[in-house]
């Protein structure tokens, strides 16, 4: 028995988004000079760079998920929804998947950068 079309689309969007996120984090690491670690499952992804970590959990049945970013002594978090038109609603803003992945990669690299306090 196959999954309903909506669930299949939701799963494909998640796979696409996590692939974009992996790619943009890898590209950002070229400039950062550190390697990243990615741990992914069907419904989650965790990406670490330096002392920073981005974690995302996703529910394909609803198309919604949550994210959390820790690093540089800070923690931020929020919610997202993958939309059937191939975009993402991220904390009230709608973006295409590319721009959301770029924004998350940049936020992870910023969180991984040592703060002025840590450099002293």
- Residues 72-86: what's their mean pLDDT? 93
CA dihedral sign of residues 16, 22, 24, 27: negative
- Count the alpha carbons within 13 Å of 35 in the hemisphere toward its beta carbon: 2
Dump pLDDT digits (tens) for 14-68. Answer: 999 999 999 999 998 887 776 789 999 999 999 999 899 999 999 999 999 999 9
Q: 8-12, 28-32, 71-75: which range is least confident on average?
A: 28-32
- Do the domain assignments include residue 28? yes
> In 3D, which of 63, 99, 61, 103 has the Cα closest to residue 80?
63
Q: Tell me how many domains the chain contains.
A: 1
- Do the domain assignments include residue 1? no
pLDDT of residue 36: 83
CA–CA distance, 76 with 119 (Å, rounded to integer): 22
Tokens 């670490």 — which residue? 48
Q: What is the pTM of this model?
A: 0.88
- Do the domain assignments include residue 4? no
- Residues 86-100: what's their mean pLDDT? 96
Question: Six-digit token pair at 113?
Answer: 């950068």
- Do the domain assignments include residue 118? no
């Amino acid at each position: 028995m196959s999954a309903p079309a909506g669930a299949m689309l939701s799963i494909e969007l998640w796979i696409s988004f996590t692939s974009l996120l992996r790619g943009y984090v890898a590209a950002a690491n070229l400039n950062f000079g550190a390697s990243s670690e990615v741990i992914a499952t069907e419904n989650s992804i965790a990406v670490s760079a330096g002392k920073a970590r981005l974690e995302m959990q996703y529910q394909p049945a609803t198309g919604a998920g949550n994210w959390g970013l820790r690093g540089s002594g800070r923690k931020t978090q929020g919610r997202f929804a993958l939309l059937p038109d191939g975009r993402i609603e991220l904390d009230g803003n709608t973006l295409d998947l590319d721009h959301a992945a770029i924004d998350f990669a940049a936020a992870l690299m910023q969180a991984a950068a040592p703060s002025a306090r840590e450099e002293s």
